[in-house]
Every structure is written in C-alpha cells, then in structure tokens.
Amino acid sequence: MKILFVTCQYPSKKYPIAGAGAFHNPAKALQKKDVDIAVLEIDMRSIRRRRKLGFYEDVFDGIKVYRTAFPCGPIPIIMPLLFKLFAAYAFRKIIAQGNRPDIIHAHFGDTSSYVAFLKKKHSIPLIVTEHSSAVLKENRNKGIERTYKNAYDKADALIAVSKALKENMRILTNKEILVIPNIIPSYHYLKRVEKNTDFTFISVGGLIESKRFDITIKAFSIINKENPNTRLIIAGDGALKGKLKQLTKDNGVEERVEFLSIVPNAMLPDIYNSCHCFVLPSMYETFGVAYAEALACGLPVIATKCGGPEDFVDESNGVLIPVGDLEATVEAMKYIYDNYSSYDCEGISREILLRLSEESVGKSICDVYSSVLGREAAEHKTDC
C-alpha cells in the first residue's frame, strides 16, 4: 500500500519540530506497520522562513519527502492557484518515478482543498485529516467555509483529531467524520529520573496570544509568593517572547522563570520528566499534543476547556479550567502543588500511551485506508 501525505510543512534538519506532531509522528507509525509512506510538502510560507527553494527530494528520519518550496505568503487569490500548480508539477514528478500512490492523504482543510483536483485527474482516493483551528466556530468566515467544504465534499474519508473538532466540522458537511487522535511517539514515557529540587511547573508551545502564557506567568507569580520553592519553565519561541520576559520582571519572578528556546521533540521527555506539573491555559486547541506528551511522561496537567484536551484530561490526570480565567489557573496550580503525591504518575503515563500509541492510532489509520481501498475495488468491480 502506497500512501502520499500532502502537507503545507514537514520537519527538516533545519526545522525539526515543524509539523512533527501532526504529520511526522503518524508517518513514522505507518512506516512501522509496513506502509510505503512518502510526503509531499508544498511550502508557500514567506521568504523569512529560510530554506531551499524549488522542487527537490529529501529524507527526514527515514521518511521520503518531496519538497516544493516557493515563498508566497498568505495572498488569498494567488496562493491557491500557485499551490495547485506546484502540486500538479510535483505529482507528475512522483508518478514519473513509478511512485503513484494508492491514496492521497491530505492534512488540513485548505491544503486538502487545493490538491483535491488530483483525485479526479489521477483517479486516486483522497482522505482528509483536519487539525486546523480555522474550522472552529469563532474563527470561521465565508472564505474558510467555502474552501474547507470543498475539501470535505471531495474526500473519500474524513478524519478529525478530536471530538470537539468533529462537531465544528459537522457545520460544513453531512459526511461521516471519524475521530482519530494524534500520536504520542514511543520516546515519550515516564522515566525514573530525579525530579528538580524545586516544585517545577512546565509549559510548552509557541509564544503566541492563543496559548495565554501571560496567564501562566501571572498565576505562577501568585503561587511563587506563597511557595518560594516553585519554578516555571517555558519552552518555545515566538513573537511574544520579549513581552513575556518583561512580564516576569513586572511580576517579580524573573529569577524563578526559565525560558528555553525551541526544543527538539525527542529531547522534550527528559525535560518533562524532571518537572512536576504541566500548565497551558490555551484559548483553543483542536487536539493539544503538548498536554498529551506531558501526560505520557507522568505529569498531571492543567488544561482549559478549549476543545481537544477534554478528550483525554480528567480528574484522574489533572484539572480542566475555563478559558481566560486567571483565578481558576491559580487555584488549579495550588491544587496540584498541594496534592501532587496523590496522583498516580505511572497510571497517568500508562493510560495515555495506551490510547495514543503508534500501534493503536496507526492501526486506526490503516483501517481507514483498507476501508477506502475496499470500497474503490468494489466500485470498479461493479462498473466492470
């Protein structure tokens, strides 16, 4: 079975975490199940993202990647047209090499919409996995609705990464939507290492508005005044880094908050395992990979009721709080600080890995492939 992932970004040696959770983890899981997996990356991001331009072939961590990079940026009229042109060009190259896929598996509604023409042109089934927050009710507009509906209408199978995302997708299609979560790689697990001397909260993600690191810092400053033996680690990068560092100074916790730059995904487990509690009061998450990774390392988590985390965070492994609520964040951090010893860290890790393992999720994806190919074979037989 030959599968071609189509994405707008994929990890590389220079940018090893770009799309790792959404694309590379499932690709590796499928490869381990003897699926012939390759990736077509069509990268239209701006020139500021320095990378090799044009079409070329690459291998990242054992996965064959066809990369097409052309700096365009989000220009509404031009980008879809260029995306289709580059997709058509790259696909011709792939087929000329004898690598015609049995299934095109596109990720994100906009990417899927732009490459949906390949299904009809080459008579290849199209599967769409949705990850995007653009489909959420508060983010949708008429343009997004048209683009994403086009992808969903043409798909042979639709996948959402969480129940909440599925409910938002229902507005745009009457088709069946399967829920298949993201994968947690096997290197995320509870390790027998010594914890930091101070009780350490950790938060991981892009330093952008929707992650609400400002709430995390303000809440931590209140906790730290009452419990000076606490620390906060923030791992990630983004436009708000300078403002967030200033916020630690303004709240008197500059010496107790450590900012880490972007950490390669495979190195995160060592950091998680040295900490005690994960906290991230996001405004919205279609899944919430960072929460799941922390759980896999045995950490209780503090998450918001923002979509994705409700699928796997409950009172046994953490605390769910309202979005944008500083007081609730403080109370949750206090609760886990005071009750940390009552959490079954081994059980937390075991349960999430059982649900989100490469074996479990990889099998679910393979079942979708088999079902789609089975329908295709039946239809062709009937046509004959």
Interacting residues of 75 by C-beta distance below 8 A, sequence separation 6+: none
| pLDDT reported for residue 74 | 65
| pLDDT reported for residue 119 | 94
Q: For residue 384, what pLDDT band results from cuts at 50, 70 and 90? A: very low
Tens of pLDDT along 103-118? 999 999 999 999 999 9
Q: Tell me what the pLDDT averaged over the chain comes to.
A: 93
CATH 3.40.50.2000 fits 2-183+358-383, yes or no: yes
| pLDDT reported for residue 380 | 59
| pLDDT reported for residue 192 | 82
Distances (CA, A) of 240 to 177, 213, 245, 272, 349: 36, 9, 9, 23, 31
What is the average per-residue pLDDT within 54-71? 92
Q: Residue 232 in contact with residue 259, Cβ under 8 Å?
A: no
Tens of pLDDT along 130-171? 999 999 888 888 888 999 999 999 999 999 999 999 999 999
> CA-CA distance, 118 to 91, in Å (whole number)?
8
| pLDDT reported for residue 262 | 78
Q: Is the pLDDT of residue 121 over 90?
A: yes
Higher pLDDT, 77 or 65: 65
DSSP bridge pairs for 304? 321
Which candidate, 53, 60, 66, places its Cα nearest to that of 5?
Answer: 66
Higher pLDDT, 53 or 358: 358
What is the average per-residue pLDDT within 360-383? 84
Q: For residue 376, what pLDDT band results from cuts at 50, 70 and 90? A: confident
| pLDDT reported for residue 137 | 83
Q: What is the 3-state secondary structure (H, E, C) of 182-251?
A: CCCCCCCCCCCCCCCCCEEEEEECCCCHHHCHHHHHHHHHHHHHHCCCEEEEEECCCCCHHHHHHHHHHC
70's tokens:
């052309």
Tens of pLDDT along 298-323? 999 999 999 999 999 999 999 999 99
Q: Running DSSP on this structure, what letter comes out for residue 265?
A: G
308's tokens:
């994705």
| pLDDT reported for residue 143 | 87
Q: Where in the chain are all domains bearing CATH 3.40.50.2000?
A: 2-183+358-383, 199-356
Q: Residue 6 in contact with residue 122, Cβ under 8 Å?
A: no
Enter the CATH code of domain 199-356.
3.40.50.2000
What is the average per-residue pLDDT within 188-193? 89
> CA-CA distance, 3 to 23, in Å (whole number)?
13
| pLDDT reported for residue 340 | 97
What is the average per-residue pLDDT within 334-346? 97
Q: Which of 5-19, 98-112, 219-233 has the weakest average pLDDT?
A: 5-19
The DSSP line for 123-149 is: T--EEEEE--GGGSTTT--HHHHHHHH
| pLDDT reported for residue 377 | 72
Tens of pLDDT along 318-333? 999 999 999 999 999 9
Q: What's the pTM value of the predicted model, to 2 decimals? A: 0.91
Interacting residues of 379 by C-beta distance below 8 A, sequence separation 6+: none
